[in-house]
């Protein structure tokens, strides 16, 4: 299992928006902005779904996703595999968390991403290099 470094965790915590990429069964790409996300632990990210349509269908057909972001403390590309939760403790915790930060939103799915790879996105000789 990949464990995020302090630098990666700090940059992720400092960003307000990341981009989630999925692919349909036929390979058609899809990218959406995500604002409701948080670390569960050093190797797992929770993404809360309120509006996914194509994204959710893609994750059901192909559980491999990529996240990319850039903020005040830098950014990275993070890849991994997801599990989808619509009931149980993980989903209930997601609903409670989202209600705290945005009471008007209604989570439909708790997306749990197990991180498999992390890549450099900043310009320079290391651009695109695999870190983890």
> What domains can you pick out in the chain, each with its CATH number?
6-120 (2.30.110.10)
pLDDT at 73: 87
pLDDT at 74: 87
Smallest CA-to-CA distance from 23 within 78, 56, 62 is with 62
pLDDT at 127: 87
pLDDT at 123: 86
Distance CA 33, CA 99 (A): 19
5: exposed, middle or buried (Cβ count in 10 Å: 0-12, 13-18, 19+):
middle
To 5 degrees, how large is the angle CA 73–CA 77–CA 82?
120
Distance CA 45, CA 38 (A): 6
Q: Tens of pLDDT along the chain (132 residues)?
A: 799 999 999 999 999 999 999 999 999 999 999 999 999 999 999 999 999 999 999 999 999 999 999 988 889 999 999 999 999 999 999 999 999 999 999 999 999 999 999 999 988 898 889 999
Average pLDDT score, the chain? 95
């Amino acid at each position: 299992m990949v464990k995020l470094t302090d630098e990666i965790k700090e940059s992720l915590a400092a960003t307000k928006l990341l981009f989630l990429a999925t692919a349909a069964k036929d390979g058609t790409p899809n990218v959406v902005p995500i604002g409701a996300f948080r670390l569960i632990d050093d190797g797992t990210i929770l993404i809360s779904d309120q509006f996914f349509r194509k994204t959710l269908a893609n994750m059901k057909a192909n559980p491999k996703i990529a996240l990319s972001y850039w903020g005040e403390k830098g950014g990275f590309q993070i890849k991994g595999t997801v599990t989808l939760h619509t009931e149980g403790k993980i989903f209930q915790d997601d609903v409670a968390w989202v209600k705290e930060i945005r009471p008007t939103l209604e989570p439909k799915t708790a997306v749990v991403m197990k991180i498999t790879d992390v890549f450099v996105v900043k310009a320079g000789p290391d651009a695109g290099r695999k870190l983890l």
